[in-house]
Structure 1
Amino acid sequence: MVRRRGCCLLSISISLAFFFFVLLQACEAQSYCNSSSWGNILNISYPFRLSSDPPNCGELRYELSCDQNNRTVLNLYSGKYYVEEISYKNRSMRVVDSGLQIQNCSSVPLYSLTSIGNFTLTDPFFYPRFPQFETYIVFLSCENPILITPNSPQFVNTSPCINGSSSSSSGSQYSYVFMGNLAFSDIPESCTVDTMVPIRLQKAGYRSFSEIHHEMALGFELSWYQIDCGNCIKRGLPCYPSQDPSIAYTSVRKNVLFWVLYI
């Protein structure tokens, strides 16, 4: 009797394990399709998808689109960003504000984007911060000029590329950018904040606005490691980037089969 019960339990466990294995394979087949390409992005594959791809390809929260200029577009927090590069190994993506033109220093970013105002822990994308880099550039429009001294090197005049009257609807005559972490107490009374945008700029020495603009136009990196965090999030556990992101995915499959067999 005991032996028969043990055999039945083993058969049920094996059947359940097979069922879950087939189910996982079916789910993967629905999400994985042949890679797509558009513009300079030649390999658009899972978890990404183009809006023109079949519904079963990729994940909707990682959907990209194409514009009339033959550019791959990421729509993020009501902003339009051009995709310059996707790294599937590092789970990262380099994007640039669609308002920036690398050969035109009078072009300005159209959208503010900050880790505090936009990104949350459950979002598909994350903006990582590194201490060796300046993380943000703040655009200011001012009614009066800022007196730039050796004690305030973070303020950079944007002229002749940009002047306040052409970059702001307030009629301000002076335009500056601020590098680094900006506190409200650092903003002169005659100035208002226009936009605050990500940048990857080594913390070393003074730079002209043309140099800063060039770095902005190269874009910044977003991390999409959250794609590997599904199992952790469901269990209420924290999730961090891994040096080998594929491990996080394969461990999910192994854990499912282990617990089914254990039952």
Structure 2
Amino acid sequence: MNPISLLFTPKPLYYYPLIHSYIFFFYLFATNISCSPDPNFDTCQPQTCGNNQTITYPFYIHGRQEPFCGYPGFDISCAPNGFPILNLSNTHYIIDQIFYQNQSLRVSNAVFSISNTSTTKGCVSPTQNLTLPSTVFRVAPNQRELTLFYGCDSLSLPRELQDHIIGCSAEKETSSVVALYKDAENVSFVAKNCKGEVVDSLVEDGVGRVQEAVRKGFLLSWTASDCSECSNTGGKCGFDSSIYKFRCYCTDRVHAAKCDPG
């Protein structure tokens, strides 16, 4: 072959090692970019307050998770004992259990909890009437209304009401706090003989003795955008408050309802 023609004969790509290296590294760079999950997907991983209870959409832990990982009005905090706390009517309610499948949760007023009474000699601090944000939470079926009477003289109470004393009053340890169901026969009698605050609350029906019912709390159900379609396709649910719409955070990008199976 003519030596001159050899100079201009096309060479295969592997003949140029520098070009081959550039192509190889460009491929690795592009592959890493395409495989990196969307940052919102990583940010909205489930967390826990410490008691092994999973906190995920529609709830989010204030200060530890981004608000877009949950639904508006579902921000919670973590108590030192590891339990999640929901603030209702400026009162802390311990979230004892979350039932994600049927969109409900069990809560109990923190002042009635066993951990609280163990540090206050069984005395109960004043609390407030429960008022629920109607667009977020509502009372679940089979819950009963309860009235708490503060400043009661336990010695003046008839024997049948002794079992309804749930503790002493934190404001005056010599007085008691009495819990009665709204439809109880002795409500008017207790109302006349107790000189402190009167607070409305809730308990779950059929729990047992009133002391146990107050500590166990009651069930709430919630209303929020459904997460099942997004989670079933591998996504993390969230909410964009700027457009007030549900978002599904997937490994590739943000989707409206579910991740693209492709």
Report the TM-score, using the length of structure 1 for normalisation.
0.55
- Give 1:65's aligned residue: 77
Matched residue count: 186
- Give 1:112's aligned residue: 128
- Give 1:178's aligned residue: 180
- How far did 1:223 drift? 1.0
- Give 2:31's aligned residue: none
Query: Larger % of strand: which?
Result: 2
Contact 2:152 2:177 survives alignment (8 Å): yes
Which of 111, 127, 134 is matched with 1:121 structurally? 134
Q: 1:79 to 1:172 in 2, by over 3 A?
A: same
Q: Which whole-Å CA distance do the structure 1 matches of 2:52 and 2:219 have between them?
A: 15
Q: Which whole-Å CA distance do the structure 1 matches of 2:68 and 2:228 have between them?
A: 22
What secondary structure sits across from 1:69 in the alignment? coil
- Give 1:196's aligned residue: 200
Does 1:220 find its partner at 2:218? yes
Q: 1:144 to 1:202 in 2, by over 3 A?
A: closer
Q: Which whole-Å CA distance do the structure 2 matches of 1:55 and 1:120 have between them?
A: 18
- Give 1:141's aligned residue: 151
Q: 1:217 to 1:147 in 2, by over 3 A?
A: closer
What secondary structure sits across from 1:199 in the alignment? strand
Q: Which whole-Å CA distance do the structure 2 matches of 1:174 and 1:111 have between them?
A: 14
What secondary structure sits across from 1:217 in the alignment? helix
**For residues 78-117 of structure 1, what are the structure 2 equivalents within 5 Å?**
78-102=90-114, 104=117, 106-108=122-124, 110-114=126-130
Contact 1:144 1:174 survives alignment (8 Å): yes
Q: Which whole-Å CA distance do the structure 2 matches of 1:162 and 1:65 have between them?
A: 27
Q: Which whole-Å CA distance do the structure 2 matches of 1:174 and 1:190 have between them?
A: 11
Q: 1:182 to 1:101 in 2, by over 3 A?
A: same
Aligned letter for 2:145?
T
Task: Please report the RMSD computed on the Cα atoms of aligned residues, expressed in angstroms.
Answer: 3.9
**For residues 37-48 of structure 1, what are the structure 2 equivalents within 5 Å?**
37-48=48-59
Q: 1:80 to 1:66 in 2, by over 3 A?
A: same
Q: Could you tell me which runs of 5 or more consecutive residues in structure 2 were left unpaired when the two chains were aligned.
A: 1-39, 230-244, 247-262
Q: Could you tell me which runs of 5 or more consecutive residues in structure 1 were left unpaired when the two chains were aligned.
A: 1-28, 230-244, 254-263
Aligned letter for 2:181?
M
- Give 2:65's aligned residue: 53
- How far did 1:38 drift? 1.8
Q: 1:221 to 1:190 in 2, by over 3 A?
A: same
Contact 1:66 1:72 survives alignment (8 Å): yes
Q: Which whole-Å CA distance do the structure 1 matches of 2:110 and 2:201 have between them?
A: 12
Contact 1:41 1:85 survives alignment (8 Å): no
Identity of aligned residues (%): 21
What secondary structure sits across from 2:212 in the alignment? helix
- How far did 1:175 drift? 4.3
- Give 1:77's aligned residue: 89
Contact 1:94 1:221 survives alignment (8 Å): yes
Q: Which whole-Å CA distance do the structure 2 matches of 1:157 and 1:167 have between them?
A: 19
Contact 2:148 2:177 survives alignment (8 Å): no
What secondary structure sits across from 2:86 in the alignment? strand
1:169-208 CA distances to partner (integer Å, 9 max, x unpaired)?
4x874543222347985544332444332211428xxx7x
What secondary structure sits across from 1:90 in the alignment? coil
Q: 1:148 to 1:54 in 2, by over 3 A?
A: same
Q: Which whole-Å CA distance do the structure 2 matches of 1:137 and 1:36 have between them?
A: 36
- How far did 1:156 drift? 4.0
Aligned letter for 2:132?
F
Aligned letter for 1:89?
Q
Aligned letter for 1:200?
E
